[in-house]
Chains A and B, each alone.
Chain A
C-alpha cells in the first residue's frame, strides 16, 4: 500500500464530515443574505442553544450507530426518563393534588433512568438477539405506554425550580447547555477515537466477524453503547424540559428520526464502522439552522419540511459524489 493510497483513504474517511460543513456554510450564506438578523451573534448563539438537545442525543446515537445498530426509541426513552425523574423529584404541595416544586433530584434520577432504559435496549438486543430496529421499535411503544400509565397525560409544571438551571443559565452570554454539549462532545470524541472502548466499537461495526474472532466482548460493548445513547437522550431531555418549562406527555415524539438524520448527515454510516462526533453535531446544527432561517424570513409554514427534505437528500448526494470521485481516484492510484 502506497503512502498516497493511505492519505487518500484518510481523506475519504473524513470527507463526509466536510460535506455537511459545506452544506451548512451554503445554507448559512443563503439565509444571511436574505435575512439581516440571521447572521448576528445573538442569533448564532440562539441556534447553538436550540441545537443542543439534538446534538447531545446525536452524540449518544453515534455510539450505537458505529456498531452497526440503531436506536429508534430515544424519543420515548426521554419521555419515560423525565417522567420517572418528575415522580421522584416532585415536592408535594400543602394541599393534596398541589405541586410545590421540583427538586434537583431530577438530574440524577433522570440520567440514571436514561442509562437504565438504554441498557434495557442493549440487553434485549444481545440476550434476546433481536434486531436493534425492531427491539427499539418495541420499546418505543412500551416506554411511552409506561410513562402514560404511571402519571397520565396532564402537563407537569417544571417552572420556578432548580431544573430550570440547566436550561436557562448563561455563562459569559452563552447558555449552559452549549458548554455541556461541548464537554460531552470532546469526551465522546476522545472515547471513540483514543480509547480501546471506542476502537472496539468501530471494530464491531466495521467487521463484526473479526471482532468476534479476535475475542472482543461484543455483547457487553454493545450494551454499553446503548447505555451511552440512553444517557445522552436523558440529558437531552433535561435540557429540553429546563428550556421549555413543562413536561408534556408528547415529549420527544418524532425526536428519534431528527437525531438519526443529524447523525447520518454528519457522515456516519448506518451500516456501522464509520462515524463522526463532530459530523453529528454539525448535522444537528444544520437541521436547526434550516428551521431558524425559515422562521426568520417568516416563510410559509407548509414549505419547512419540503426544504428540509431537499437539503437532506442534497447533502447525502454531495457526500456520495465526493466519495465516488475520491474512490475512483484511489483505485487508479
Chain B
C-alpha cells in the first residue's frame, strides 16, 4: 500500500496546484490525528477476528464526559483521565460480554454504540460543550518543528501500539488467536483474556482519541464520532487488515488512513462536489481492498496454503458451534 501512496502523492503534487505546500501538509496531519489513534484500537480488534462498532460512540461519550469534568474542575489532566476512564469502561463492558459471555461482537458493540451515544445525549441534551481550558486549545494549535502537536500524539500512540503488536508476546498471541483460535487455545493461550484485553484497549484508545478530538476542535459532542466509525473501519481494511482476523498490522492501517486523508484533501482542493467525493471514496475503497486481497492471495499461494479456505475467509474448523462461541 505504501507504493500506492507514493505514486498518488507524486501525481497529485504535479497536477494539483498548491497540494505540496507546508500549510496543506499540516492540514492533512491535523485531520489525521484523531483517526490515527482510533484505527490502532480497531486494528487490534479486527486482528482477533472481532469488530468494534462502538468506537465512534465511545469517542462521543468520552469527549462529553471529559469536557464536563474539565468545565467543572478546569484541569486538562482530569479531563484526560475521564476520557480514558469512560473509554476503558465501555471497552471492558464490550470485552466482558464478548469474551466472558461469548456474544457476537457485532451485536454487542452495536448495542453499546446505541447506549453510549444515547448516554451522551442524556448528559448534554445534544448540545456541544465548549469553553474548554485554554491550555488544551493552545496545545491543540501548537506546532512542534512545523508539525502539529496533535499529529505527533496520534503518531506516537500508533507507534507504541505497533511496537506492542509486532514485538511482544501479547502481539503474537493476538495474531495467533486471529488466524487460528483453536490452535491458540491448544497452545495454552488464555484466548478469552486476550480478547477482553483487546476490547479494553480499543475502548481506552477511543477515549484518548476523544481527548485529541477536543484539543483539535475545541468541542465535545455526543455525535462527535458518528461519521468516524466507517472512516475508521474503511481505513483499517483499505490498509490490508483482514476482517477475518490474523492478518494485518498497525502500519498498514496508518497507511490506509493516510491514503484516504490525502485523497479527500486533494478532491477538496480540486473543488470536487461532495457526491463526487463519495463516489471516488467508494470506488477507491473497493479497488484498494481488491488489490490488497489479490496481493495477499499471491503471498498465500507462495506459502502453499489452500486457496479455498483463503477465498471464503473463514477456516472450516471455526465452523462448529463450540468454536464459534470461543471465537466470538
Residues in chain A within 8 A of chain B (CB atoms): 12, 68, 124, 128-131, 133-135, 137-146, 148-149, 206-210, 212-213, 218, 257, 260-261, 264-265, 269-273, 302-306, 308-310, 312-313, 316-317, 320, 323-324, 327
Contacts and interface: CB of A to CB of B under 8 A. Distances in A.
A312 B109 CA distance: 10
A139 B281 CA distance: 9
A269 B104 contact: yes
Interface string B272-305: 0111111101110111011001100100000000
Among A208, A218, A309: residue with most chain B CB under 10 A: A309
A155 B54 CA distance: 32
Interface of B is mostly: helix
A27 B121 CA distance: 24
B319 A270 contact: no
A309 B282 contact: no
B324 A269 contact: yes
B104 A316 contact: yes
Interface residues of B, number: 63
Contacts of B233: 133, 137
B86 interface: no
Contacts of A302: 118, 121-122, 125
Given A141-B285, A142-B278, A303-B118, A312 B111 contact: yes
Nearest to B119: A306
Given A68-B314, A312-B114, A145 B278 contact: yes
Contacts of B110: 257, 260-261, 312
Given A149-B275, A260-B110, 5 more contacts: A137-B234, A209-B308, A302-B122, A305-B121, A309-B115
B289 A270 contact: no
Contact of A131 (B119, B242, B316, B322): B242
The 8 closest A-B pairs by CB, nearest first: A142-B282, A145-B278, A309-B115, A208-B312, A305-B118, A141-B282, A309-B114, A145-B279
Contacts of B97: 313, 317
B316 A128 contact: no
Given A68-B313, A131-B237, A312 B103 contact: no
